[in-house]
Amino acid sequence: MKILVVGNGGREHTLAWKLANDSAKPEIFCTPGNAGTAELGTNLSFDATDLEGIKSWCVENKPDLVVVGPEAPLCAGLTDLLEAEGIRVFGPCKAAAELEGSKQFAKEVMKAGGVPTSAYETFTHSDEACAYVRERGAPIVIKADGLAAGKGVTVAETVEQAEAAIRDALEGNAFGDAGSRVVIEDFLMGEEASILALIDGEHVVMLASSQDHKRIFEKDQGPNTGGMGAYSPASIVNDTVWQKVKDEVYGRTLAELKKRGITYKGVLYAGLMIQDDQPSVVEFNCRFGDPETQAALSRWDGDMLPAINGVIDGNLSEEMVAWKDEHSVCVVMVAGGYPGSYAKGDVIENLDVANAVSDTVVFHAGTALKDDQVVTAGGRVLGITSLGKDLPDALSKAYIAVESISFKDAFYRNDIAHREMKRLGLDFNQE
């Protein structure tokens, strides 16, 4: 059995790792992959957005399954392109992926379907947008409408910050075409959590809850990033919240998409804000989250392929997914300067030492091989992920592994899961 995983980040290394350990023992290919996926199978040379190149390889090599990791190829229609060639693909079609491809579209679907989310307006002219911000006040959220690699969101604490973000997008072309329209949303109070769900067009199976840490600095300070770490499960997602997410978020979203003639097959990520047991949707992603995937899939008990096939074949069921009792933590190590400019090509030391820590896997994100050495090749470099009998145990293992790894100007947060630790009444201390 041959499986192609499309993408080169921590999410894709995690997916390749989980699939490589399936009892079916498939042969793994990744494109373009990274230094971590190279240890699991064969890396190809096609960029994730080289749709024609990927299609040509698939037509010639006939993989049994293609798993698409990132949002860009999904929004560009890679699933549609491959399915037209008779190739089995895990990932939503282009029309369904628009839930992430356009924040305005996602908001329209949520509003029409009665999905809990914040009030919003969209603008293409900065003067009108700034006038709206002055009317609504701050804090307020400014989002580039299209795909901006996780960097198109500004949580503005003042009206001045909001106006600057608007002008950067609409006048300064900071996000290219993705920022030619902005969605301005009311700020949601509460605590964030993430839930991924597998969807086969009809059935929804929600995966283990997690909580990401978006800000670069400890105590959730500084600019947003693609994610500095995550843990699973997140107790803020209690039984009441869980049921509301299933009914009010996933149930209503699928119903509204069906009204529009759109069938969603794949994984749908709901980024949530929770207050007083009421979840509201901050954003939808049409793919696995990163680093939530590392935290969640490390707890997946048993094979993943039956569930993926269930999504594609339309017979997904709860019995296809099981979870380990252990808790998980993923700590992301980033290059100095991230999420701004950063260096590439720095040698990463002691990966073997970190991987030798009990119940720990170092997932590669922005890495490459150069002269038989693993070097940095992106802003988020590694996602060190550990299982533990409880959260403190998982944290201890993860930070022991993190502290053994070195590369120039390496940076990471020391307070992953700080809210959960506080809920547990524990001091945040991995010593």
More confident residue, 154 or 112: 112
If asked whether residues 181 and 195 sit together in one domain, one would say no
Does any domain span residue 110?
no
Q: Are 348 and 374 in contact (CB under 8 A)?
A: yes
**Crossing angle for the helix pair 103-113 and 252-259, to the nearest 10 degrees:** 100
Stretch 40-69: mean pLDDT, rounded? 98
If asked whether residues 303 and 218 sit together in one domain, one would say yes
Does any domain span residue 127?
yes
Lookup: tokens for 164: 């600057």
**Domain boundary at 160, 186, 212, which?**
186
**Structure pTM?**
0.95
If asked whether residues 310 and 330 sit together in one domain, one would say yes
Lookup: tokens for 250: 């996933």
If asked whether residues 63 and 8 sit together in one domain, one would say yes
pLDDT > 80? residue 84: yes
Stretch 395-402: mean pLDDT, rounded? 98
Does any domain span residue 111?
no
116 upstream amide cis, omega within 30 of 0: no
If asked whether residues 252 and 326 sit together in one domain, one would say yes
pLDDT > 50? residue 431: no
If asked whether residues 249 and 397 sit together in one domain, one would say yes
| pLDDT for position 148 | 79
pLDDT in tens, 162-174: 999 999 999 988 8
CATH number at residue 261: 3.30.470.20
**Domain boundary at 186, 214, 233, which?**
186
pLDDT in tens, 381-391: 999 999 999 99
pLDDT in tens, 253-276: 999 999 999 999 999 999 999 999
If asked whether residues 160 and 303 sit together in one domain, one would say no
Does any domain span residue 365?
yes
Mean of per-residue pLDDT scores for the chain: 96
Q: Are 400 and 388 in contact (CB under 8 A)?
A: no
Our count of domains for the chain comes to 3
If asked whether residues 199 and 332 sit together in one domain, one would say yes
CB neighbourhood size of 256 (10 A) = 18
Q: How far apart, in Å, are the Cα atoms of 222 and each of 168, 207, 214, 272?
A: 18, 30, 9, 20
If asked whether residues 11 and 45 sit together in one domain, one would say yes
SS (H, E, C) the chain: CEEEEEECCHHHHHHHHHHHCCCCCCEEEEEECCCCHHHCCEECCCCCCCHHHHHHHHHHHCCCEEEECCHHHHHHCHHHHHHCCCCCEECCCHHHHHHHHCHHHHHHHHHHHCCCECCEEEECCHHHHHHHHHHHCCCEEEEECCCCCCCCEEEECCHHHHHHHHHHHHCCCCCHHHHCCEEEEECCCCEEEEEEEEEECCCEEECCCEEECCEEECCCEEEECCCCEEEECCCCCCHHHHHHHHHHHHHHHHHHHHHCCCCCEEEEEEEEEEECCEEEEEEEECCCCCCHHHHHHCCECCCCHHHHHHHHHCCCCHHHCCECCCEEEEEEEECCCCCCCCCCCCECECHHHHHCCCCEEEEECCEEEECCEEEECCCEEEEEEEEECCHHHHHHHHHHHHHHCECCCCECCCCCCHHHHHHCCCCCCCC
If asked whether residues 29 and 150 sit together in one domain, one would say no
CATH number at residue 157: 3.30.1490.20
Does any domain span residue 135?
yes
Does any domain span residue 104?
no
pLDDT in tens, 303-357: 999 999 999 999 999 999 999 999 999 999 999 999 999 999 999 999 999 999 9
Q: Are 225 and 215 in contact (CB under 8 A)?
A: yes
**Domain boundary at 58, 93, 128, which?**
93
If asked whether residues 246 and 311 sit together in one domain, one would say yes
In this structure, are strands 380-388 and 327-334 parallel, antiparallel, or unpaired?
antiparallel
Q: Are 249 and 168 in contact (CB under 8 A)?
A: no
Of 164, 172, 174, which Cα lies nearest the Cα of 129? Answer: 164
CATH number at residue 17: 3.40.50.20
Q: Are 191 and 178 in contact (CB under 8 A)?
A: no
pLDDT > 60? residue 130: yes
* Containing structural domain, residue 265: 191-423
pLDDT in tens, 200-256: 999 999 999 999 999 999 999 998 888 999 999 999 999 999 999 999 999 999 999
Residue corresponding to tokens 């700034």: 130
| pLDDT for position 430 | 45
Does any domain span residue 197?
yes
C-alpha count within 13 angstroms, C-beta hemisphere, residue 208: 26
Does any domain span residue 262?
yes
Lookup: tokens for 368: 């490459």
pLDDT > 70? residue 429: no
Band of the pLDDT at 428, cuts 50, 70, 90? low
Cα dihedral 130, 135, 140, 145 in deg (nearest 10):
-50
If asked whether residues 382 and 416 sit together in one domain, one would say yes
